[in-house]
């Protein structure tokens, strides 16, 4: 397994370019132009193409031609998601429709003791903002400082509303105090549960039939602060429609188990929810590195 390097796809120049096209030519033309961008990436970006091909061909067992087709489909879907993210932040939400499944669980969490929303790099995480704006509590989103500054710097001039608070992950670990304060105030903290940086504590789990490492951190927070977790995802079903899913809240109250055992149980539930999502939306897996343990790459 190669470790995630702490960077996501989509640079500053790319965001500027798509903001320009979106503003002057509209979202449909932007989607059309995306075909050429995706073709370039699929042909010339072997570093990201090979791991996603491995996912379709080896993990999901697709045949070669189907795997290649899904590599293009996956990259195109990622491009659409990035365009949609810019469009939503720029105030073009009228272009999209949404289904919110499990909204009542998040409202219940907000009305009581707060807790954690844990997602993954599947679908469009930012789309959750359309729901979280309607939740009557403060929501904190955990994000790498470098990614936060990159997006903030590019989109400040087009954003029409800022309804959520970003907690940037810094080297000085000050973000841990901010998480603690938020949870002690019975607020909601949202984060991903599928990636980790070098040196993070991890657990090896069976995921889609093969061993993979997952970070303990998000699940440790639930155990440490005795807060429930809800697993969330937001997937793109058509060009203009998204479906948001939220599971019922989980909290392992079994005091007879060790912390590690309780963390492991929560992680198992998370993986089960993630597998169910990928069963229906396999092309929306957006981790472009070797996620699974392997002997050759």
Mean pLDDT score of the chain: 86
pLDDT surpasses 90 at 222: yes
Average pLDDT over residues 196-225: 94
pLDDT surpasses 90 at 5: no
Percent of the chain whose pLDDT exceeds 70? 85
Contacts of 36 (CB under 8 A, 6+ apart): none
pLDDT for position 228: 97
pLDDT surpasses 70 at 52: yes
> What global pTM score does this model have?
0.88
pLDDT for position 167: 86
Assign 207 to helix, strand or coil: strand
pLDDT for position 27: 86
Which residue from 263, 252, 227 is spatially nearest to 109, judged by alpha carbons? 227
Task: Provide the token pair at 49.
Answer: 């193409």
Buried b (16+ CB within 10 A) or exposed e, 136-170: ebbbbbbbbeebbebbeebbeebeeeeebeebbbe
pLDDT surpasses 70 at 2: no
Residue with tokens 């949609």: 84
Contacts of 231 (CB under 8 A, 6+ apart): 117, 118, 119, 193, 246, 247, 250, 269, 270, 273, 274
* CA 141 – CA 143 distance, rounded (Å): 6
pLDDT for position 8: 53
pLDDT surpasses 60 at 65: yes
160: confidence class by pLDDT, cuts 50, 70, 90: very low
Average pLDDT over residues 164-171: 79
Q: What is the pLDDT of residues 68-121, one digit of tens each?
A: 999 999 999 999 998 888 787 677 778 889 999 999 999 999 999 999 999 999
Q: What is the pLDDT of residues 113-155, one digit of tens each?
A: 999 999 999 998 777 766 777 787 888 988 875 554 555 555 4
Other CB atoms within 10 A of residue 201 CB: 11
Contacts of 267 (CB under 8 A, 6+ apart): 193, 203, 205, 214, 216, 219
pLDDT for position 24: 79
Q: How wide is the angle at C-alpha 47 spanned by C-alphas 66 and 171, nearest 5°?
A: 125
Phi, psi of 269 (to 5 degrees): -65, -40
12: confidence class by pLDDT, cuts 50, 70, 90: low
pLDDT for position 245: 94
């Amino acid at each position: 397994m190669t470790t995630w390097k702490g960077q996501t796809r989509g640079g500053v120049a790319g965001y500027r370019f798509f903001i320009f096209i979106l503003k002057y030519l509209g979202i449909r033309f932007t989607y059309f132009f995306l075909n050429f961008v995706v073709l370039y990436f699929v042909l010339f970006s072997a570093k990201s193409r090979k791991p996603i091909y491995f996912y379709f061909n080896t993990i999901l067992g697709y045949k070669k031609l189907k795997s290649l087709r899904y590599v293009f489909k996956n990259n195109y879907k990622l491009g659409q998601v990035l365009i949609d993210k810019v469009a939503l932040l720029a105030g073009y939400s009228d272009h999209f429709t949404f289904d919110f499944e499990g909204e009542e669980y998040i409202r219940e969490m907000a009305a009581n003791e707060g807790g954690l929303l844990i997602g993954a790099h599947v679908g469009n995480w930012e789309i959750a903002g359309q729901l979280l704006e309607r939740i009557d509590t403060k929501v904190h989103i955990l994000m790498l400082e470098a990614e936060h500054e990159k997006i903030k710097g590019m989109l400040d001039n087009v954003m029409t509303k800022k309804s959520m608070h970003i907690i940037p992950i810094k080297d000085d670990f000050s973000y841990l105090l901010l998480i603690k304060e938020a949870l002690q105030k019975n607020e909601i903290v949202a984060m991903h549960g599928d990636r980790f940086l070098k040196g993070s504590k991890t657990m090896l789990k069976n995921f889609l039939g093969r061993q993979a490492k997952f970070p303990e951190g998000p699940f440790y927070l639930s155990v440490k602060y005795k807060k429930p977790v809800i697993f969330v995802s937001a997937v793109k079903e058509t060009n203009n429609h998204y479906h948001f899913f939220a599971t019922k809240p989980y909290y392992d109250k079994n005091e007879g188990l060790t912390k590690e055992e309780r963390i492991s149980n929560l992680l198992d539930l998370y993986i089960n929810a993630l597998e169910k999502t990928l069963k229906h939306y396999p092309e929306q897996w957006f981790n472009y590195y070797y996620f699974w343990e392997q002997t050759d790459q």
